[in-house]
Structure 1
Amino acid sequence: MSHDALFAPLKVGALTLPNRILMAPLTRCRAEDDHIPGALMAEYYAQRASAGLVIAEATMAMANNSAFWREPGIYSQAQIEGWRRVTDAVHDKGGLIALQIWHGGRACHPLLNDGAMPVAPSAIAIANGAVNTPHGAQPYVTPRELRDDEIPGIVKGFEAAARNAKAAGFDMVELHGANGYLLDEFLRDGANKRSGPYGGPIENRARLIFEALEAVIAVWGADRVGLRISPLNSYNGMSDSDPVGLTAWLAKELDKFGLAYLHVMRGDFYSKQQGDVMTPAREAFKGVLIGNMGYRADEADAAIRDGKVDAVAFGAAFLANPDLPARIKAGATLNAPKAATFYTPGAEGYTDYPAMGG
C-alpha cells in the first residue's frame, strides 16, 4: 500500500503537520536528577523528529506529584532550560513538538515526593500494581481527597506549566486527561465518588478538565492546545459505568472549546472494558481527531481515508523505530520494541534503535 493518507499534510489548530504519523506520549523515565531533561532526552526526541507531531511524555505540571521517579517536570527554571535543549534539537531536525502536561494524582507515592501524600478526587487507592521508587517497588497508598478549595491551586499549576512550556520552546501543549491520573480520576465515576461541584453527574466530574483547559487556553490560545482521554482504559484501576456515553457527552462539550485536537485512546490495556468510543467521538467532535492504541499502518491509513480519524499516534512502534514514517513509506520491516528497557536508565533501548540501513 502507498499509505498516501498518512502522508497528507494536516492543519492542526495553528500548525500544519507534514504528515499524520504522530508520536504518542511515552513515559521513558530518562530524566536527570530533579526531573530535568538532559542531553540523552534531546537526542531521543530529535531522532524521532520526522513524526508529523512529536507529543512528548507525561511531564509534571507541579512539584511533588511524581509517579515514575525519573519522569521530567516543567515547574522549575532548570527544567525549562532542559526542555529548551529538547525543543531546539527537534526544531533543528525540522520537527514539531508538543508537551503533555500532567498531574499523577493517586498514582503518586510519598517516597517520590518528599513524603507528600498523593491527592485524588476520592480516597480510593489503586488496588493492584506497584510504583518504582528508590527503595524498590512499593504498593500504591490511599490518596488524600482533595478539598474543593484546593482545586483552584491545581488549575493554577496547569496554567503555570503551560507558561513554562511556552518558555521552553514547545509548539503546543496537550493536557493529559487519560490513564488514571488526576484529570481522568475526576472524570470517570469509578474513581470519583465525591459530592459537591466536582462529583456526581458527568457535568461536575468534567469540571476540573474544563477549568484546566480554560487556564491553559488563556496562555496558548485554543488552537495550540490538545487533550488526551482514555474512556475505556482500566490502567491504574480505572473504570466508568458508561464509557461510550461519557465519550459522546465529553466530545460534544469539548467541541465548543475550539481545541487543536482531541486525542482518544480507543481501547483498554487489559481488555476489561469493551466498546466503540471512536465513533461517538468522531460524531460529536468536529475538530481534528487523533486515534491511538494498536493501529498498524494499513489500518491507520484506511481510517484516515474513511474519515474516522484525522491522524494516528503511534506509541511502541515509534519507540523502536526512530524513522517510523520513512519505514512506513518504504514498506520496511519494523524494529521490535524491547519492553525490558522501556523504563530503565541510559541509552540502551532508548537511543540505540537503528534507523533503516543502520
Structure 2
Amino acid sequence: MSHILVTGGAGFIGGNFVLNWLANPSADGIVNVDKLTYAGNRKILDAVEHDLRHVFSQTDICDRTSLDCLFAQYKPRAVVHLAAESHVDRSIHGPGEFIQTNIVGTFTLLEAARAYWVTLDGEAKAAFRFLHVSTDEVFGSLGPTDPQTSETAPYAPNSPYSASKAASDHLVRAYFHTYGLPVLTTNCSNNYGPYHFPEKLIPLMIANALSGKPLPVYGDGQNVRDWLYVDDHCSALREVLARGRLGETYNVGGWNEKTNLEVVYALCDLLDQLRPKAAGSYRDQIAFVKDRPGHDRRYAIDARKLERELGWKPAETFETGLLKTVQWYLDNQTWVLDATSRQFGNQVVNQYAA
C-alpha cells in the first residue's frame, strides 16, 4: 500500500485532513505521526480507528530515530507537515515549546525526509513531495487600508509563535534551494470548524456561551482576521500536494475578513436561534478584557495565486461555514467536554485575565 506521512494528524487541522483524505476509498494510506500534546486528541480519529489504511504513531517530530524508522518501514510518497505549537497566547507565556516543536522539530523532519529521499530511485524520487503547512501570521500586521498579503510579502512576525513558524518556513525554503528537496509551502488564514480545540476563539465562545460564562473579547474587539473553513483548507492542501509547483508558496484564505467582535456577534446570533436562552441574548455575556501583548491588528490573505494556478477557491462562505461549525459543537458536546478537561482550564483563566 502506498502511504503519505502526516504530522500533527491528531490535531485540529491535521485530524480533519486525515478524515477528509481517507473519506476517499481509493486514497493512499496515512502514517499519522502525532506527539499527543494537550491539543492532540485521538478521539478526532474515531471514524478511522479500524481503517487499515490509517497507521497511528505517537511520535515526537524531534525524535530523529523514530522518524527514520517510520520512513524506512512505510516508504511514504509524500510528507504533509502540520505538526506545530500554534496558540499565540501560550507562546507568550511559554515560548520554549514553540521553538522546540516548530523550529527544531521541522529541522529534524526535514533531515529525516532528505535522508530518505536521497535513497529513492527514478520515478519515486521525482514524485516525492514535502508539503509544509504554515500561517499568515508570519507576515505580521496590516493596516486597515493595506492590500491583502501576497506570497511575496516580507516576513514580519510579531509573536514567539509567528517567529517560530517564520523560521520553519525559511528552513523549508533553504532545503529546496540547497539540497533540492521537493518542497511546497502553504500559508493559511484562521481556520475554524469541527474538532477545534476549545482554547481558540470560536469554540471557546460557544463553550462559554452554553455554560453561562463571560465571552472574553480582547481590547476593543476590532482585530481583523480572515476566516477559512477547515474542510476548504483540507481541499486546498490536496490540490497543492497533487499539482503545486516545486519550491512555491501558496496562500490559502477564505476571503472572509471579520473583526473578532463581528465573529462573536455572529456566534451569539446563531446560538440565539439554535439554542435560545431562557431570557435575553448570548450577546449579554460579552465581556471586554485587557488586550494581549503584541496583538496584531489585521491579517488578510490574497489567495488569487492558488485560484489562478490550481483552480482552488473556498466552497464555504463565512455564514455557511459558521452555521455548520456551531451545529457540530451543539451536536458533539461530549467531545467538547472531554477536550476541555485536557489541561486546559487554567490556561484560559490566565489568558483572559482582566
Under a length normalisation based on structure 1, what TM-score does the superposition of the two structures give?
Answer: 0.36
Structure with higher helix content: 2
Higher-Rg structure is 2
Under a length normalisation based on structure 2, what TM-score does the superposition of the two structures give?
Answer: 0.36
